[in-house]
Amino acid sequence: MIDMVPKAISLNLVNHSKDNLQRELLQELYKPDVLDELLKESEYVVSRRREVISMVQALNKAEEYVPIFHLGLVVY
């Protein structure tokens, strides 16, 4: 029983610290200017997305020609 008192005090201190830290972090995270900055995509991601979209379009167009080449219907 004697051993449980310091453990209970420590547990309460840790929980209190955890709650305060979490509250402060959430307040910082949800500030409008910080939130906008965190959600903003980098220029690399934007340019990479454009590249991937153009690759997908090229692959879709190439996919249209696969049956034609497979059947030997290509006229040169």
Q: What is the pLDDT of residues 5-38, one digit of tens each?
A: 888 999 999 999 999 999 999 988 888 888 788 8
Contact 34, 28 (CB under 8 A): yes
What pTM was computed for the model? 0.47
